[in-house]
């Protein structure tokens, strides 16, 4: 079945190179060129040729046709297919007075009658050489099967949550909110704890203004500005972490994962000892200034979209972009998903005119409700690409350390592997969508009956807890918000 589907798929995309099959005195030989996969069978030489008899017979001049009985697939064949069919063929062709030997992928197979088979062996070698010379990056395609895609995702260890061999109920996961969670008075409850006042003082010295005063007294319009809001949310979140250190230090001894939403990812990296506190404040300051500058150059914004099964969100965003092109003469309008929050809730961002178009026609697109976010730009869209370039230059100068606890990236949802990946993803994060829903699925995927870890959210609000409740109600039962 796999070969049938595989051949039909490549035939449809005009990328399947039909192999040349020669009738061997003992057994047909089949080569699948397009996939860097070579299978040579000989009934007498191969001990399990009975399992592959049907493969050769399934091929004719029209391609692979379904046979009456499907071949039994060996474990070795399964391993090759799981590796995206990227099996490197090794050729070692030798001859003596009585036989010709073909070695493919470590298996030695004997083909008798060298006088009649030598031509065929040369043809096989030529075909394999042609196959190997092709650009593998252009040839390799994902097999169009949800089952195959799922297995690939499941095998990718960098995208799976850390699973220590301890009782999950004794472990912890740390979450840090992002921009939009700020409010006047945040941080007031944290001041009595050791080190909090000093953190605000250090941040104020780096930023050049009294951060704590803005957090406690506002005004709200100033606090909502990107250049103020981002460092304020990050510092307040890290100050809330000091509360857990003082009240429940054991919770920080078995942390199996941490993640932060947008700018909250910097707080997560500080908690994992990747950044020093001072370096994180400096980077977030530059990040906020670069993003603020871009928002002042172009009218843009963000809004939350509440959907249902009838919502045509992709169509709505495409219509909004087309409206800006035709009616407003925008050369390259932007309107796309910026945050994946949960199944029925997304945040879209882009040009203000495109967002207003969707707001005016929301009923036609089946949108239940819209809510504008208190931010001044279209973050996590291509409109912020220049900020990403600026951030990349800054991150190259900052010393980063390997994470002491697993940190999950907003860009791909998986765990960071090394500091180079951290630099790359943080610079991309400002203009790529935040995959928060995917992060929650990775962090809280559990077997049936398995306990869930304790979940702590640090910072000005409980927004991430509400998203967790929408995504995984069982995990939410262990959730706690460290109020700021």
Q: What is the pLDDT of residues 17-51, one digit of tens each?
A: 444 444 444 444 444 433 343 443 343 444 444 44
Q: What are phi and psi of 110, to 5 degrees?
A: -100, 135
The single residue of 237, 300, 323, 380 carrying the catalytic annotation is 380
pLDDT band at 124 (very low <50, low <70, confident <90, very high): low
Q: What is the pLDDT of residues 181-192, one digit of tens each?
A: 899 999 999 999
At 372 the three-state DSSP class reads strand
What's the pLDDT at 152? 54
Q: What percent of the chain has pLDDT over 90?
A: 59
At 379 the three-state DSSP class reads coil
Q: Which two tokens stand for residue 380?
A: 């996590």
Residue among 272, 255, 288 at smallest CA distance from 400? 272
CATH architecture assignment, domain 300-372: 2-Layer Sandwich (3.30)
380 is catalytic: yes
For residues 373 and 437, give the distance between their C-alpha atoms in angstroms, rounded to a whole number.
19
CATH architecture assignment, domain 169-297+383-483: 3-Layer(aba) Sandwich (3.40)
Average pLDDT, rounded, for the chain: 78
Q: Which two tokens stand for residue 130?
A: 């042609």
367 or 3, greater pLDDT: 367
What's the pLDDT at 446? 84
pLDDT band at 166 (very low <50, low <70, confident <90, very high): confident
State the residue for tokens 């010379």.
133
How many other C-beta atoms lie within 10 A of the C-beta of residue 318?
13
Q: What is the pLDDT of residues 390-416, one digit of tens each?
A: 999 999 999 999 999 999 999 999 999
Residue among 8, 36, 38, 314 at smallest CA distance from 145? 8
Rounded to 10 degrees, what is the CA torsion of 361, 366, 369, 370? -50
Residue positions counted in the chain: 484
361 is catalytic: no
Mean pLDDT of 59-84: 53
The single residue of 181, 237, 262, 478 carrying the catalytic annotation is 262
Calculate the CA 255 to chain-centre distance. Answer: 21
What's the pLDDT at 93? 40
Question: Given CA atoms 256, 261, 265, 268 in this order, what sign does their dihedral have?
Answer: negative
Residue among 317, 467, 425, 423 at smallest CA distance from 378? 317
DSSP class of residue 415 equals: B
126 or 229, greater pLDDT: 229
Domain coordinates in residue numbering, the chain = 2-154, 169-297+383-483, 300-372
H helix intervals, 167-208? 196-207
Q: What is the pLDDT of residues 168-213, one digit of tens each?
A: 888 999 999 998 889 999 999 999 999 999 999 999 999 999 999 9
For residues 385 and 429, give the distance between their C-alpha atoms in angstroms, rounded to a whole number.
9
For residues 236 and 291, give the distance between their C-alpha atoms in angstroms, rounded to a whole number.
20
**H-helix or E-strand spanning residue 473:** helix 473-476
- Catalogue the E-assigned strands of 105-220: 107-111, 172-176
Q: Please, are residues 264 and 176 in contact by the beta-carbon 8 Å criterion?
A: yes
For residues 243 and 252, give the distance between their C-alpha atoms in angstroms, rounded to a whole number.
11
Q: What is the pLDDT of residues 219-245, one digit of tens each?
A: 999 998 999 999 999 999 999 999 999
């Amino acid at each position: 079945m796999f070969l049938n589907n595989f051949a039909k798929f490549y035939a449809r995309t005009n990328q399947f190179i039909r192999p040349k099959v020669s009738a061997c005195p003992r057994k047909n030989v089949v080569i699948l060129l397009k996939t860097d996969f070579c299978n040579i069978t000989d009934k007498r030489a191969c001990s399990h040729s009975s399992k592959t008899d049907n493969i050769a017979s399934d091929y004719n001049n029209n391609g692979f046709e379904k046979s009456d009985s499907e071949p039994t697939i060996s474990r070795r064949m399964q391993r090759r297919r799981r590796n995206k069919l990227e099996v490197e063929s090794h050729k070692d062709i030798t001859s003596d007075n009585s036989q010709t030997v073909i070695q493919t992928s470590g298996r030695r197979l004997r083909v008798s009658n060298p006088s009649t088979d030598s031509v065929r062996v040369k043809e096989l070698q030529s075909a394999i050489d042609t196959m190997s010379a092709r650009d593998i990056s252009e040839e390799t395609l994902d097999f169009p099967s949800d089952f195959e895609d799922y297995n690939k995702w499941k095998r990718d260890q960098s995208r799976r949550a850390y699973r220590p061999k301890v009782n999950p109920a004794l472990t912890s996961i740390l979450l840090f909110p992002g921009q939009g969670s700020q409010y006047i008075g945040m941080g007031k409850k944290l001041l009595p704890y050791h080190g909090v006042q000093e953190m605000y003082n250090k941040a104020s010295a780096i930023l050049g203004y009294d951060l704590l005063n803005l957090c406690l007294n506002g005004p709200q319009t100033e606090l909502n500005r990107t250049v103020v809001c981002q460092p304020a949310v990050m510092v307040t979140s890290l100050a809330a972490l000091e509360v857990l250190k003082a009240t429940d230090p054991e919770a920080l001894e078995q942390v199996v994962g941490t993640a932060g939403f947008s700018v909250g990812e910097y707080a997560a990296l500080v908690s994992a000892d990747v950044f020093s506190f001072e370096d994180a404040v400096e980077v977030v300051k530059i990040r906020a200034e670069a993003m603020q500058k871009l928002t002042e150059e172009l009218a843009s914004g963000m809004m939350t979209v509440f959907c249902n099964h009838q919502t045509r969100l992709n169509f709505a965003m495409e219509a909004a972009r087309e409206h800006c092109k035709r009616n407003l003469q925008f050369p390259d309008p932007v309107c796309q998903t910026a945050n994946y929050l949960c199944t029925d809730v997304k945040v879209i961002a882009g040009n203000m005119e495109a967002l207003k178009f969707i707001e005016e026609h929301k009923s036609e697109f089946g949108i239940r409700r819209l809510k504008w976010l208190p931010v001044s730009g279209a973050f996590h869209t291509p409109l912020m690409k220049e900020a990403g370039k600026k951030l990349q230059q800054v991150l190259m100068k900052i010393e980063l350390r390997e994470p002491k606890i697993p940190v999950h990236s907003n860009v791909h949802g998986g765990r960071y592997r090394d500091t180079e990946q951290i630099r790359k993803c943080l610079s991309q994060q400002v203009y790529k969508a935040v995959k928060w829903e995917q992060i929650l699925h990775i962090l809280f995927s559990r077997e049936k009956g398995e306990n869930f870890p304790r979940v702590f959210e640090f910072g000005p609000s409980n927004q991430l807890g509400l998203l967790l409740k929408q995504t995984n109600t069982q995990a939410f039962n262990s959730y706690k918000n460290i109020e700021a």
